[in-house]
Amino acid sequence: MTDAPTDTLSAARAGRGDLVRWTRTLIPTSKEAPADAEAVSHRLLVRAGYIRRVGAGIYDYLPLAWRVLTRLCRIVREEMNAAGASEMLMPALEPLEFFKETGRDAEYGDNLFRLTDRHGRVCALAPTHEEIITDLMKAAVSSYRQLPLNLYQIQTKYRDEFRPRSGLLRGREFIMKDAYSFHLTPDGPGGLGEGYEAMRRAYTNIFTRCGLDFTVVEAQSGPIGGSASHEFMVNCDAGEDLILRCPTSGYAANVEKCEIGDRAWSFDGEPTGELEQVHTPNMPSIEEVGKYLKVKPRNMLKTVVFRAAGDASPAGVRWVLAVVRGDHDVNEGKVKDAAGFPVALANEAEARAAGFAIGYVSPRSALGRSDCLLLVDPDAARGMDPEKDKPMFWAAGADEPDHHVKHFNWRREMGKVLDNPGSVKVADVRNAQAGDPSPRDPSARLEEGRGIEVGHIFQLGTKYSEAMGFTVLDPDQRRRPVIMGCYGIGVSRTLQACVEMSHDDDGIVWPAAVAPFDVLITPISADEAGDQMRAALRLADELTTAGLDVLIDDRDERPGVKFKDADLIGVPVRLTVGAKALAEGCVEFTRRARARDAERVPLDQAAARCASA
């Protein structure tokens, strides 16, 4: 067989598919699943010989996985390039000074891998590259005429995750595509908004082409910084993230960020009895206290103590008490927003020293203190029980160790404090949950689902350019800090998300676009000189000429073993070459997704059948 002529550009680029023999590559399939594997996709990738654990959160990508990653990367590159981004590569080893300049050495904390070289200089293994690229741009770009720009790379990233788990879903070393965009203005032509939209479209194309079922959700920006941010979530039950959706308006958000629609509230309502103190020793959880008191968590007040961080808080306010119902969870981001200044969860010792009986705090601990701001969630700010249309029964902490109170009544216990807006604010400070009113449609209720975050886009603003002094001259010859965006895709996580989404009891069912091979040819007999192998090789030649990637299972194994492994590794189309069909000039054609529907196809039509599958 001769190679295709390469004397024209298009011929040189057309390319033929790969032909790989099973016996000449490494596909160590096994029945054994790793004991620690929580996700089905993790078990399947190990069992099908795609990945192997080297250490906690560190994996080998074996040939099959590498082929999938290569295809994923090709899709990513095509869409990023089409959106006008340019690929480059930055080092994974970064001098720690860069992180110190932006304060991210502290923000990333223990998640940042640090190492000291032989000269005593400290480096970090890059978790992302905002600092490095800002430094590069600062040296190379000085005028608005050079903007906008979008640069990206596909590279290994390092994060010392507290709990690496689920294989490639949360590794300590993983492959990420990260892109950074630079603009003179937030809006208008060439502005951040336009660049952000272009990335949102590129990401939508990428994950659609990967065959994934995903939701784009509003997200919190975390230690990367910045304002607007969206996550691309693969919809599946094994996902770590909780997402909420409004069924009518299309609103969707990560629970970290999800707003809740208007809820009526009022502190007014008669007490249900005398305030009664109860001894509740050795009951660390709300549920235990509730059982002992015979009170449901929805009738208990949970008060969480935050400290005002930084110096932006109003004069004298040092503590913020967030009050939610016992069956709800306080949302730190919302507490920050409601307070209007930065807050951090209080350090226990410090809070105790300031007089808070941590574990037993109630709104009453704010009485007589001018250094406290009380933030009450609307569902906790109730004097009447909306479900029973009776005065609301509340249990709460007693503000002394090992004690709770029953019959807490807002008006009686808190008095005039409630009417002082400097001391008490009613605001959404809890996580949303299924059944909550939608923030976009008052008649709709939020629904819950789980997702795997495969992509995250951020409008960074000037956080990095200001910290690192990256400015350009604008058309009026004034220096302005550059406005930035950053855009990540977890490439190795996406590989596993494809498996989590697309598998059955027998193994992986790859979406065609990212499968390691297009066709698996299985001759029942592996006799190199026999008819079956000869037919298999002829078919493989036709298929690779048509540009398809082909794996031939040329192992001298029983058919049952070959079929089981075929199901396990999940190649989308299978051609089985057996004596009986071959005698009639046919092979068997099967799709992995519908393994039971085998069709006999004449040999000379088999390649065309695969190409159109």
CA distance 519 to 587: 13
CA distances from 263 to 135, 373, 378, 411, 579 (A): 47, 21, 6, 20, 72
Nearest approach, Cβ of residue 453 and Mg ion (Å): 6
Kindly state whether residue 257 participates in binding Mg ion, applying the rule CB under 5 A: no
- When the beta carbons of 38 and 262 are compared against ligand ATP, the nearer one is 38
User: Which residues is 175 bridged to in the sheet?
Assistant: 156
Determine what percent of the chain falls in helix, strand and coil, rounding each to the nearest 5: 30, 30, 40
Binding of residue 171 to ligand ATP (CB under 6 A): yes
Residue at token pair 């390691």: 516
CA 272 vs CA 392, 406, 419, 594: distances in Å: 7, 9, 22, 63
Q: Are 161 and 111 in contact (CB under 8 A)?
A: yes
**In whole angstroms, how close is the CB of 250 to ligand ATP at the nearest point?**
22
47 binds ligand ATP (CB under 6 A): no
Binding ligand ATP by CB under 6 A: which of 488, 516, 523, 572? 488
Q: Side chain identity at 184, as an amino acid letter? A: L
Between residue 123 and residue 142, which ones bind Mg ion under the rule CB under 5 A?
A: none
Interface positions, 114-133, toward ligand ATP (CB under 6 A): 128
Q: Closest CB to ligand ATP among 491 and 569?
A: 491
Question: What are the two backbone dihedrals, phi and then psi, of residue 97, each rounded to the nearest 5 degrees?
Answer: -50, -40
Q: Which stretch binds ligand ATP (CB under 6 A): 68-76, 433-441, 490-498, 561-569?
A: 490-498
Contact 40, 238 (CB under 8 A): yes
**Minimum distance from residue 491 beta carbon to Mg ion (Å):** 14
Cβ-closest position to ligand ATP: 490
In degrees rounded to 5, what are phi and psi of residue 35?
Answer: -65, -30
Residue 167 interacts with ligand ATP (CB under 6 A): yes or no: no
Q: Select the span of 171-179, 272-280, 398-406, 470-478 touching ligand ATP (CB under 6 A).
A: 171-179
170 touching ligand ATP, by CB under 6 A = yes
- Asked if residue 104 lies in contact with residue 460, where contact means CB atoms within 8 angstroms, the answer is no
User: What residue 176 binds from Mg ion, ligand ATP, none (CB within 5 to 8 A, per partner kind)?
Assistant: ligand ATP
161 binds, options Mg ion, ligand ATP, none, Cβ within 5 to 8 A by partner type: ligand ATP
Q: With respect to Mg ion, which residue has the nearer C-beta, 207 or 510? A: 207
* 42 contacts ligand ATP (rule: CB under 6 A): no
226 binds ligand ATP (CB under 6 A): no
Burial of 327 (0-12, 13-18, 19+ CB in 10 A): middle
Please give the DSSP secondary-structure letter assigned to residue 32.
Answer: P
* Among the listed residues 98, 174, 180, 251, the single contact to ligand ATP using CB under 6 A: 174
Residues 6 or more apart whose CB falls under 8 angstroms from that of 473 comprise 142, 143, 144, 479, 480
- Tell me which stretch binds ligand ATP (CB under 6 A): 68-76, 203-211, 472-480, 486-494: 486-494
Residue 565 touching ligand ATP (CB under 6 A): no
Measured from the CB atom, the residue of 156 and 185 that comes closer to ligand ATP is: 156
Residue 64, both tokens: 């099959």
**Residue 255 touching ligand ATP (CB under 6 A):** no
Minimum distance from CB of 161 to ligand ATP (Å)? 5
State the nearest-atom distance from the C-beta of 176 to ligand ATP, in Å.
Answer: 5
- Strand-strand pairing, 573-577 and 594-602: unpaired
Stretch that binds Mg ion, among 118-126, 263-271, 448-456, 471-479 (CB under 5 A): 448-456
Helices 603-611/531-545 angle, 10° precision:
40
Of the candidates 87, 160, 161, 441, which one interacts with ligand ATP according to CB under 6 A? 161
Nearest residue (CB) to Mg ion, 453 versus 588: 453
Q: In sequence order, what are the residues at sequence separation of 6 or more whose Cβ sits closer than 8 angstroms to the Cβ of residue 332? A: 306, 343, 345
Other CB atoms within a 10 A radius of the CB of residue 92 amount to 18
Closer residue to Mg ion, CB minimum distance, 490 or 507: 490
Considering only residues 456, 493, 503, 574, which one is a binding residue for Mg ion as defined by CB under 5 A?
456
DSSP assignment letter at 527: -
Residue 485 engages ligand ATP in binding (rule: CB under 6 A) = no
Those residues whose C-beta lies under 8 Å from the C-beta of residue 24, and which sit 6 or more positions away, are none
- For ligand ATP, which stretch binds (CB under 6 A), given 2-10, 25-33, 356-364, 450-458? 450-458
Stretch (H or E) spanning 301 = strand 301-308
Judged by CB under 5 A, which stretch of 52-60, 153-161, 383-391, 454-462 contacts Mg ion?
A: 454-462
Beta-carbon neighbour count of residue 93 at 10 Å? 12
455 near ligand ATP, rule: CB under 6 A: yes
Contact between 154 and ligand ATP per CB under 6 A: no
SS (H, E, C) 466-502: HHHCCEEECCCCCEEECEEEEEEEEHHHHHHHHHHHC
Could you say whether residue 456 binds ligand ATP (CB under 6 A)? yes
Place of tokens 């660049």: 195
For 554, the 3-state DSSP assignment is coil
338 φ, ψ (degrees, to nearest 5): -70, -35
User: Per rule CB under 6 A, is residue 257 in the interface with ligand ATP?
Assistant: no
How far apart, in whole angstroms, are the C-alpha atoms of residue 352 and residue 440? 41
Among 47, 129, 334, 493, binds ligand ATP (CB under 6 A): 493
C-beta of residue 533 within 8 angstroms of C-beta of residue 541:
no
- Could you tell me the smallest distance in angstroms from the CB atom of residue 259 to Mg ion? 19
Distances from the Cα of 154 to the Cα of 63, 91, 550, angstroms: 19, 11, 26
Pick what 107 binds: Mg ion, ligand ATP, none; C-beta below 5 to 8 Å, kind-dependent: none
Q: Which of these ranges, 50-58, 289-297, 335-343, 449-457, lies near Mg ion under the rule CB under 5 A?
A: 449-457
From 74-82, 191-199, 291-299, 456-464, span contacting Mg ion (CB under 5 A): 456-464
E strand intervals along 137-201? 149-158, 173-183
C-alpha torsion sign, points 65, 67, 72, 73? positive
Choose between 141 and 228: whose C-beta lies nearer to ligand ATP. 228
Smallest separation, CB 220 to Mg ion (Å): 9
Closer CB to ligand ATP, residue 224 or residue 551? Answer: 224
Give the interface with ligand ATP as residue ranges (CB under 6 A): 128, 159, 161, 170-171, 174, 176, 222, 224, 453-456, 488, 490, 492-493
